[in-house]
Structure 1
Amino acid sequence: MSSYGAKFDKLAAEWAILENRHDKTHPDRSDCGGVGRCSMMATAVDLEHEMIDALEAWRRKRRSR
């Protein structure tokens, strides 16, 4: 586990799998249609937002110690 916690690590692992799968399907990202037309891109962006939220929660927890 990284120092950012299990939740962040789980999200980051899911994001990495999705990014690799996306890049195999759409090697040229400008051809995929972006977040509005590619469900993999939309899911990856959602995961990125969840990762940011997890990092913010981790920071708040550290500050409250």
Structure 2
Amino acid sequence: MQQLRNERGYSQEYVIENTHLDISRYETGDSIPTLRSLLKLCKLYEITVSEFFAPLDYPPKEK
């Protein structure tokens, strides 16, 4: 989350003001965002939920 925020050039304060979410707790791992929170963040960043999770490197599924 911090990387995405930094890539957009947003401060924590900006994201907090525009989403009303305590992103500092998410960025430190002290709290896990709900789906509703993720949707708010995706709206702010103008990305889809799929795009939000795209950088995750999941192991390939076996067929």
Which of 1 and 2 has greater Rg?
A: 1
Higher relative contact order (CA closer than 8 Å, sequence separation 6+): 1
**TM-score, normalised relative to structure 2:** 0.31
Name whichever structure is richer in helix by fraction: 1
